[in-house]
Amino acid sequence: MTPVIYRAGRYGAGPATAGILSDMGYAIDASVRALFDHFGEPGGPDYHGHPGTPYWLDPSRTLLELPVTTVYAGLLSCLGPSLLPRAARVPKLPGILARTGLLERIPLTPEGVPVRDALRDINAAIAQKVPVLVFSFQSPSLDIGHTPYVRMDADLARFYDWWERVLAHLARRGVAPATVASVRDAARLA
């Protein structure tokens, strides 16, 4: 079996990644974590201006970018793209905005995102008509002691509970699972 979808470690796709993946026959890249300046370091990946919905990486529409779903939630969510980058320059202001329910950026991951926030993210993504919800986690989190998110039995139980609650919520909201082929075919029709 030949792999058809790729995600760079630490979301670190570089300027040559798309060309290399196209040359190797990949159909989808999932390396972008939209709305994040992920590392905030010189030369680190900065995806804060990237769309949170699928988009083609090449004019021939052979390589689709499928970013991790991240949405802005809160009373000021419509101002998220312009407000949050400016707020980030003021120490603690993004946290204050999030805790007060004014503005929060929530990625779909069980790693560092409480389930209540993930459910809010899912609801916001559905309301915003995001066409596909993309989740992310590190595979070592499936066992104890390999990531900072799963250090003991209770963490692992919480990790699996997160998925059970999220998958049940998706089912209640009528969100159906998709294959790589169905996502790519739908993107071609859009």
pLDDT tens digits for the chain (190 residues)? 788 999 887 777 778 889 999 999 999 999 888 877 755 656 667 777 788 889 999 888 999 999 999 999 999 999 998 898 889 889 999 999 999 999 998 999 999 999 999 999 999 999 999 999 999 999 999 999 999 999 999 999 999 999 999 999 999 999 999 998 899 888 888 7
Instruction: Report the alpha-carbon distance of residue 132 to residue 160 in Å, rounded.
Output: 22
Q: Is the dihedral of CA 2, 9, 182, 49 positive or negative?
A: negative
Task: Compute the distance between CA of residue 138 and CA of residue 101 in angstroms, rounded to an integer.
Answer: 28
State residue 149 phi and psi, 5-degree precision: -85, -25
Is 110 part of any domain? Answer: yes
pLDDT score of 38? 58
Q: Say if residue 6 is in the same domain as residue 30.
A: yes
Residue 39 pLDDT:
57
Within a domain: residue 83? yes
pLDDT at 147: 95
Are both 43 and 86 inside the same structural domain? no
For residues 75 and 96, membership in a common domain is answered with: yes
Same domain, 7 and 79: no
Examine residue 97 and state whether it is found in any structural domain, yes or no.
Answer: yes
- The structure's pTM equals 0.86
CA distance 118 to 124: 10
Q: Are residues 108 and 160 in the same domain?
A: yes
Can you read off the two tokens belonging to residue 23? 């040359």
Within-domain flag for 51: yes
Kindly state the DSSP code that residue 179 receives in the 8-state scheme: -
Q: Which amino acid is at 135?
A: F
The answer to whether residues 80 and 57 belong to one domain is no
Does 157 share its domain with 167?
Answer: yes
Q: How many helices (H) and strands (E) does the chain have?
A: 6, 6
* Domain stop point among 47, 68, 89: 68
In a domain, 53, yes or no: yes
The pLDDT score that the predictor gives to residue 41 is 59
Domain boundary among 49, 68, 87: 68
Q: Which of 55, 86, 52, 88 is nearest to 70 (CA)?
A: 52
Domain count of the chain? 2
Asked if the structure places residue 182 within a domain, the reply is: no
Tally the residues of the chain. 190
Asked whether residue 79 falls in the same domain as residue 150, the answer is yes
Is 184 a domain residue? Answer: no
Helix (H) or strand (E) run with residue 122 in it: helix 115-127
Does 77 lie in the same domain as 141?
Answer: yes
In sequence order, what are the beta bridge partners of 107? 70
- Buried b / exposed e over 73-98, threshold 16 CB at 10 Å, is bbebbeebeebbeebeeeeeebeebb
Residue 186: inside a domain, yes or no? no
Domain that includes residue 54, residue range? 1-68
